[in-house]
Amino acid sequence: MKKMIIDADTGIDDALAILYALKSPSIKVEGITTVFGNINVDQATDNTLRIIALAAPAYDVPVAKGAGKPLRRGKPEFGTHVHGANGIGNVEVAASAQQPLDEEAADFILRKSEELAGELILVTLGRLTNLAHAIQKDPSVCGRIKHVYVMGGAVGVPGNITPVSEANIWGDPEAAELVIASGVPLTMVGLDVTMKTLLTGEHLDRLRQSCGEENAGVVDFIRESHRFYFDFYRSSNYFIDAAPIHDPLTVLVAEDPSIVTTQLMNVKVVCDSELCAGMTVADLRRRSLVGSPIHVCTEVNASLAVDRLLHAFI
């Protein structure tokens, strides 16, 4: 059983990733921490509580609210054009009776890293601000976390916010650089693989026909929220009739790393540039001198990933 904390800016694909993790028999979700990004952190926290209640009202999954703004940059930027005004495709999900913990995300990560030293897996689906805060408070956390799987970055492909930057890194480059340079064992699940792993409307229609009655409500939510996401990807720079499963793929990789191929690379995040902020530069020279060593996903078994994702809801 993989023991995970999921750190999310709960938008449409974060919600699907959380639902998958809650359904997977090989994952124990130890808690969910929230961060600004697709929407503001209060909305991300509220969405998270609603999604947990939708998945299984009896689940005991603590939620800790985290950062509302980047580490050093003043103003947070949100992605409501991609995820809708409420972050989950403007779909109304019933409110939850659960309250967030009276403990900040960074403190929750630190506490759990002590409780589960050497076992805890952290999956980040948004800006890396919460983990950066935790490392600033107690750098020894890096030796207690088993592995961090980061949805973010782009090495051999274009960015999705600027020509070179992916949203989660671009939204707080200083936090991303701090985490990458910290030495915590880390795998970057970036656009190189997530843009190859596509979910379509037909996938979801078939899922609705084959899922059991107990999953019907969850699958209806996934279909409704993805309408907004499909519209975005159809009309954005991508012009595709599908949506990449950025965040669910990251949970799938954390659950079973064999679905991707990785390469150890030295990576550095560009911080001081208007044009290139958030770019994940990999030093691929023979004698690599720039950046810190992390595992970068370069290839993915996309059909296996999508099959596994859908299978959890049958």
Closest to 295 in 3D by CA, of 205, 193, 201, 221: 193
Smaller CB separation from ligand BDR, 126 or 291: 126
Among 168, 187, 225, 266, binds ligand BDR (CB under 6 A): 168
CB 36 within 8 A of CB 260: no
CB 67 within 8 A of CB 41: yes
Return d(Cα 151, Cα 125) in angstroms, integer. Answer: 5
Catalytic hit among 203, 246, 295, 311: 246
Residue 166 contact partner, candidates ligand BDR, Ca ion, none, CB within 5 to 8 A by sort of partner? ligand BDR
**Kind of pairing, strands 260-269 and 280-283?**
antiparallel
**36: amino acid identity, one letter:** F
Residue 167 contact partner, candidates ligand BDR, Ca ion, none, CB within 5 to 8 A by sort of partner? ligand BDR
81 is catalytic: no
Among 30, 46, 174, 247, binds ligand BDR (CB under 6 A): 247
Based on the shown chain and the rule CB under 6 A, indicate whether residue 7 belongs to the binding site for ligand BDR. Answer: no
Least Å distance, CB 82 to ligand BDR, is 5
Task: Tell me how crowded residue 227 is: count the other CB atoms within 10 A of its CB.
Answer: 16
* Residue number with the smallest Cβ distance to ligand BDR: 167
Among 12, 27, 121, 125, binds Ca ion (CB under 5 A): 125
CB 41 within 8 A of CB 34: yes
Based on the shown chain and the rule CB under 6 A, indicate whether residue 246 belongs to the binding site for ligand BDR. Answer: yes
Judged by CB under 6 A, the chain residues 53 through 92 that form the site for ligand BDR are 79, 82
CB 15 within 8 A of CB 88: yes
Based on the shown chain and the rule CB under 5 A, indicate whether residue 166 belongs to the binding site for Ca ion. Answer: no
